[in-house]
A and B are shown apart, each in its own frame.
Chain A
Amino acid sequence: MNAVRVTIAGLGIAMAAYGLEQLLALGPANLEATVVWLVGGVLVHDAVLAPLTVAAGLLLARLWPGRLPAAVVTGLVVVATVTLVAVPVLGRFGARADNTTLLDRNYLVGWLLLVTLTLGMAAAAALRSRPRRASSGRARTGGGSGGTSAGRR
């Protein structure tokens, strides 16, 4: 077990060292530009995205105390993903006037379609699950987190 871990770690350190060597070989200007993006990525996640998610979670908890319909959370995860993935095409940053075969869709319509469809399906699933939740009372409310999952598996 320990030998396996040491081997994996050793291989990892060797690969990372090779990558670092490759990166340094690209010169100081390239390194500087890369470090800006390496550090920037961590900052954008830890100081912007993650706190926003925490804030969204708190807001959601206040608006909708207790357990949420699963479909709502799934829908929000999908919408967030689709929105992030759509940033480069929605912004059309790479578009070129001389090339009409690139970024050749109406991405705003596509994104709205995806978001509407996702939220619509989530809302429909949430509404459909409501009567069942009401009739089965508290049976489902404890599952999933506190270890009181006898009925879930």
Chain B
Amino acid sequence: MNRRVPVESDFTSSLRSPAVASRVGLWLGVCFGLAFVTGLISHEAYVAHPLIAFPTRPTWGYRVTQGVHVLSGTAAIPLLLVKLWSVFPRLFARPPRALRALAMHGLERASIAVLVAAAVFQLASGLANAAQWYPWNFHFRATHDAVAWIAIGALLVHVAVKLPVIRATLGADIDATGHDRVGATTPGPVSRRVLVRSALLASAVAVLATAGSTVPALRRVSVLGVRSGRGPAGVPVNKSARAAGVVAAALSTDYRLVVAHGGREHAFTRADLEHLAQHTAELPIACVEGWSASGRWTGVRVRTLLDIAGATPGRDVRVVSLQQHGPFRETTLPGQFADDPLTLLALRLGDEPLALDHGYPCRLIAPNRPGVLQTKWVSRLEVQG
């Protein structure tokens, strides 16, 4: 083995071919497309005033889109690696001499660099986030969203540049050699078909190994799932009362839920809330990290409290938690959610009083919303003007 930097022609395996790259790339494109669209949906669900009012149905909508988001990202990991493997020799391609050709070569190189950087960034940051690991100093949600646009943009540019090769190789037999690199004629240790199938199988295994965090039927199969589904009343917890620093305030006899509207305030103890009409709803907690679990919640309709305060329908409600810190201490509940009969201030989960870690004395639970907006330890509802 020599020690110089390799050149493209050092890679003689015919496995590293456009035929493999386009096939794996097609599946990779499907995964990135799914992750992008579901990511946009998640972003819309987060912001208080999206372009289109976020729907309250189906109740399991966000659970499905966010599950698809995280699983399509997981599925993309082996596809991206095999895709990069198949084109790795191109990294060492010699730039052309002619000025115009050199400029085009440079531009293409730059677009590929952006694409690879953004793609690896999205998958790595997403994978770590799903396990609640934040080894970085950037704001995850906003940055993951911004880089997603860069990744998809660079992907489209790449597809535009390569479209003739993509069409030709996908239209021909996988073993056709018409578009192979010059000199890449050494047979690989396996066929191209086996390589592509291996990448797809690896995707499927990665999905099965992790999907149990959101698909209850797979809980026993998903040995790498971040959550097994255990927790108080059969529902996992994202942030504990201790981590939120609310234990004393939540257990205090001074606790009151205050409903504020038009300069007037109504205060309720937990016992007061228990004496109001109780309703039960089967609704999921679905977190941005991709885990979800369904629960049977019982409590007071938010609309009932707004009626007591004299608020007309369609008003946004600011929901404030006992938490002293954190970006989701205060959230906005859009009018369509506040008025929905399934939107509760839950006092019970399953057959038990709400656990402290689930938001005792009371928590918000609404259909089709991201978990962090299902505010726990609610102390205040303010009807917006």
B135 touches A93 (CB 8 A): yes
User: Within 8 Å of chain A (Cβ to Cβ): is B74?
Assistant: yes
| Interface mask (B220-256 → A, CB under 8 Å = 1, otherwise 0) | 0001111110110000111110110000000000000
Select the stretch in B55-63, B139-147, B309-317, B336-344 that faces chain A.
B139-147
B136 touches A37 (CB 8 A): yes
CA distance A38 to B121 in the complex (A): 6
CA distance A88 to B150 in the complex (A): 25
Q: Which of A54, A68, A91, A104 contacts B230 (CB 8 A)?
A: A104
What residues of chain B lie closer than 8 Å to A9, measured between beta carbons? 156-157, 160-161
CA distance A144 to B143 in the complex (A): 42
**Cβ < 8 Å to B, chain A residues 3-56:** 4-6, 8-9, 11-20, 22-23, 26, 29-30, 33-34, 36-39, 41-42, 44-46, 49-50, 53-54
B residues contacting the other copy or chain, number (CB 8 A): 96
CA distance A14 to B156 in the complex (A): 10
Q: Which of B128, B154, B155, B202 has the most CB of A within 10 A?
A: B202
Please classify the interface of chain A as helix (H, G, I), strand (E, B), loop, or mixed, using the class held by over half of its residues. helix
A111 touches B223 (CB 8 A): yes
A residues contacting the other copy or chain, number (CB 8 A): 85
What residues of chain A lie closer than 8 Å to B227, measured between beta carbons? 101-104
| Interface mask (B167-187 → A, CB under 8 Å = 1, otherwise 0) | 000000101110000000111
CA distance A61 to B189 in the complex (A): 8
CA distance A114 to B223 in the complex (A): 8
Whole-angstrom distance between the Cβ of A39 and the nearest chain B Cβ = 7
Whole-angstrom distance between the Cβ of B239 and the nearest chain A Cβ = 7
Q: Which of B155, B161, B190, B239 has the most CB of A within 10 A?
A: B190
CA distance A23 to B1 in the complex (A): 44
User: Within 8 Å of chain A (Cβ to Cβ): is B271?
Assistant: no
Whole-angstrom distance between the Cβ of A42 and the nearest chain B Cβ = 5
CA distance A136 to B84 in the complex (A): 34
B85 touches A50 (CB 8 A): yes
B118 touches A38 (CB 8 A): yes
Whole-angstrom distance between the Cβ of B245 and the nearest chain A Cβ = 11
What residues of chain A lie closer than 8 Å to B269, measured between beta carbons? none
What residues of chain B lie closer than 8 Å to A53, measured between beta carbons? 85
B175 touches A50 (CB 8 A): no
Whole-angstrom distance between the Cβ of A150 and the nearest chain B Cβ = 10
Q: Which of B77, B116, B132, B151 contacts A85 (CB 8 A)?
A: B77
Q: 11 A-B contacts, Cβ less than 8 Å apart? A: A8-B160, A9-B156, A34-B147, A74-B198, A77-B82, A77-B195, A103-B226, A113-B223, A114-B205, A114-B223, A145-B175
- Seen from chain B, the residues whose Cβ lies within 8 Å of a Cβ on chain A are 1, 13-15, 74, 77-78, 81-82, 84-85, 88, 91, 113-114, 116-118, 120-121, 124-125, 127-128, 130-139, 142-143, 145-161, 163-164, 173, 175-177, 185-195, 197-199, 201-203, 205-206, 209-210, 223-228, 230-231, 236-240, 242-243, 357
Ranked nearest first, the 3 interchain pairs of A and B with the lowest CB-CB distance are: A144-B191, A16-B153, A110-B223
